[in-house]
Structure 1
Amino acid sequence: MTTTMFSPPSLARLAPLAAALVLAGCMGTPLAPPPEHAGVAVPAAFSAVDGAAAWTTAPPAEAQPRGAWWLGFQDPVLSGLVERAGSGNTTVQEAAARLAEARALLRSADANRAPQVGASAGVSRQAGASTTGSAEPATLATAGLNVSYELDLFGRLSQASDAARLDAQARDALLQSTLLMVQADVAQTYLQLRAVQAERALVDESLAAYQGTLRLTQRRYQAGDVAELDLARVQTEVAATESEALALERQQALLNHALAVLVGEVASGFAVPPAAGDAALPVIPPGVPGTVLARRPDVSAAQASVLAAQARVGVAQAAWFPAITLTGNGGYASPELGDLFKWSARSWGIGALLSLPIFDGGQRAAQEEGARARFEGALAAHRGQVLTAFREVEDQLSALRLLAGQAEAQGRAVQSAARATQLSDSRYRNGLVSQLELLDARRSELRNRRQALQVRTAQYTATVGLIRALGGGWDSAG
């Protein structure tokens, strides 16, 4: 519209500038990555889920607010630890501080788009007829206000503000990702601790049984009914089981200390309250839509980083265009300090400053090239984040599906091993079988019971891992 004001020769000379304005307008608005997550096609269903054609959505527990996925385990102790970690974990606090820094940088970028007002005062000694009216040196005192405002004709300031805003959004998403990671670590560590405690109780129960057998064997050895070899075998089993109990106690202490660090407390003196019962295992719905990964905080952060890098490409391109700054000042100037604030000493001025680098040794070209390279890197990182998200969900879904079958098979193994121990003990007391057969039966039962506990723990761990992979539960709403 403004080109009608110029004569044809002036229009011809300004044609490159007009084209630059058009390009600047085109690059002013960052474009989001495509809905297919930066070139990653969203699958219709996860391959590890059977019957996933009929999508369903389910929260981790009925009537629980979205986001508090740990309530699905129905363990008050776990819920308390997760809440304590949300406020006390140092990693979360660091992420919150980085978010506060990003928001401060956003305010700084927005401030550059507003008029800049400052006050100034000074006293100078000057000489020259053009400034003081005399060739003799004179003192000049000044005081006033200065105003400057840069016209953002080419979008440099607005795109810098957009980039800072997107950086803040990315930091916000990373804070949520860090919080989710810490919550998942707390849940997995706590559930592993409960599993070790249950395993320790099982080993203690086996140890008590071995000690009872040892007392019986010692009496029979003293009576001459069994050989010393039988006594040595039972003593070996007792010592080995005591060693396993101590190893589990050490593992329990390490997990307890890890929980202390996760909730932001000192490991010394930290103790987890006893559980009222076994934690529930949340039920996974039949299918999980691939689009649920769009709300993962780390994926959102990667997308915001792409947009911020794209905006900074525009900032680098805008550096090729002139910068126009409007200035104004008003105040007082007087050669006598006592007359400084008299009405006759008032002064003012307005101006416009246009600056355009002519030769910079390739600095602007290098900055634009670097911005484009960072943009390409952000795109690659976003794509990698999405691929990782799909892999993590597939891993946990596969694990849960296979662990369900393993738990069922292991349950049958425990039942048969317990029955074998019961029969062997009865036959041994009646002198029908050797002590070696009884010890083998007990070892088999203990091994199978511990494996059942470990499978159950793996189910807990995979469930928490799936919740973390989905960005906090499997409800696709919101």
Structure 2
Amino acid sequence: QQNRFEAGTVPRFNVLQAEVALYNQLPLLITAQNNYRIAKLQLAKTLGLNFERRRGENPPLEVVGEMPYIPRTIGLADAMELGKERRPFLKQARANVLNQLQQVRATAGQWLPTITTTGGGEWVSSPTNSSWHDISKGWLATVQGSLPIWDSGAIAGQVLQQRALFSEAKIIYDDDVRQVELEIQTAYSNLQQNQELIKSQEKNVELAEEAVRLA
């Protein structure tokens, strides 16, 4: 517009409008540049690159070339199975459930009879003869059993307590599974949205390049 104004083809008002439009776009440009720097920092973190003092404020990497978008097809059901299988805290919660189940069984096992056995050999010398040949010897075996007949409900109370802990662990595990499923479904929905956005932005880039060529 400035060149056209100097050539006398447009009024001064058009130049002022163009300058206002230019300065209105500068904040967007500054924001885009800042977002670009932050994106490079996030990429460096993902790649495991540490901060380098000699680079100063610059990110610890230089982005060169283009990163084309390559669609990856993954089913929601497969993503669910992989997510529930590989989440570390789900493995821990599953182990807690199995541990509490074993605690219930161990506590209920106190109702079962307890049997202990001992065995050994015995050599007894004669009290009236000091000869080594006059020795009585043999094997001994002892079997002892016990059965809790009355414990004032102590074992029953312990079993109820362990069952309550088992139920709590299972509820926590089920809730964690639902949380993982929600996160996967949300990520899957965002992936579909981003795929549509990429397609629309690719079309915008094509139109912008055509506009630049025509200008």
TM-score with structure 1 setting the length: 0.29
Does the 8 Å CA contact 1:221/1:231 hold for their aligned counterparts? no
Match of 1:372 in 2: 163
Over 3 Å counting, the alpha-carbon distance change for 1:253 and 1:356 in structure 2 is: farther
Residue by residue, what CA displacement relative to the aligned partner does 1:355-391 show, whole Å, maximum 9, x if unpaired? 7778777553333222212222333344334444544
Match of 1:314 in 2: 105
Over 3 Å counting, the alpha-carbon distance change for 1:293 and 1:254 in structure 2 is: closer
- Partners of 2:69 and 2:207 in 1: how far apart? 25
Deviation of the 1:284 alpha carbon: 0.9
Does the 8 Å CA contact 1:313/1:375 hold for their aligned counterparts? yes
Over 3 Å counting, the alpha-carbon distance change for 1:246 and 1:415 in structure 2 is: closer
Residue by residue, what CA displacement relative to the aligned partner does 1:175-214 show, whole Å, maximum 9, x if unpaired? xxxxxxxxxxxxxxxxxxxxxxxxxxxxxxxxxxxxxxxx
Partner residue of 2:12 out of 201, 223, 226: 226
Partner residue of 1:248 out of 9, 32, 35: 35
1:411 aligns to 2:210 (yes or no): no
1:146-295 correspondence to structure 2 within 5 Å: 217=2, 226-227=12-13, 229-230=16-17, 232-233=19-20, 236-237=23-24, 239-248=26-35, 251-252=38-39, 255=42, 258-259=45-46, 263=48, 266-269=50-53, 271-272=60-61, 274=63, 277-278=66-67, 281-284=70-73, 292=81
Over 3 Å counting, the alpha-carbon distance change for 1:304 and 1:394 in structure 2 is: same
Q: Secondary structure at the match of 1:296?
A: helix
Over 3 Å counting, the alpha-carbon distance change for 1:410 and 1:319 in structure 2 is: same
Over 3 Å counting, the alpha-carbon distance change for 1:360 and 1:249 in structure 2 is: farther
Over 3 Å counting, the alpha-carbon distance change for 1:271 and 1:400 in structure 2 is: same
Q: Structure 1 unaligned runs (5+)?
A: 1-215, 330-348, 427-478
- Partners of 2:202 and 2:44 in 1: how far apart? 32
1:313-462 correspondence to structure 2 within 5 Å: 313-321=104-112, 323-324=114-115, 363-420=154-211, 422-423=213-214, 426=215
Does the 8 Å CA contact 1:256/1:271 hold for their aligned counterparts? no
Deviation of the 1:317 alpha carbon: 0.7
Does the 8 Å CA contact 1:325/1:353 hold for their aligned counterparts? yes
1:459-478 correspondence to structure 2 within 5 Å: none
Higher relative contact order (CA 8 A, sep 6+): 1
Does the 8 Å CA contact 1:220/1:226 hold for their aligned counterparts? no
Deviation of the 1:307 alpha carbon: 3.0
- The percentage of aligned residue pairs carrying the same residue is 22
What value does the CA root-mean-square deviation take over the aligned residues?
Answer: 4.8
Over 3 Å counting, the alpha-carbon distance change for 1:273 and 1:391 in structure 2 is: same
Residue by residue, what CA displacement relative to the aligned partner does 1:14-69 show, whole Å, maximum 9, x if unpaired? xxxxxxxxxxxxxxxxxxxxxxxxxxxxxxxxxxxxxxxxxxxxxxxxxxxxxxxx
- Partners of 1:389 and 1:319 in 2: how far apart? 38
Over 3 Å counting, the alpha-carbon distance change for 1:368 and 1:266 in structure 2 is: farther
Q: Secondary structure at the match of 2:12?
A: coil
Q: Secondary structure at the match of 2:111?
A: coil
Q: Structure 2 unaligned runs (5+)?
A: 54-58, 121-139
Does the 8 Å CA contact 1:324/1:352 hold for their aligned counterparts? yes
Number of aligned residue pairs: 185
- Partners of 1:328 and 1:276 in 2: how far apart? 81
TM-score with structure 2 setting the length: 0.55
Query: Runs in 1 of length 4+ with deviation above 6 angstroms?
Result: 219-225, 349-361
Letter of the 1:226 counterpart: R
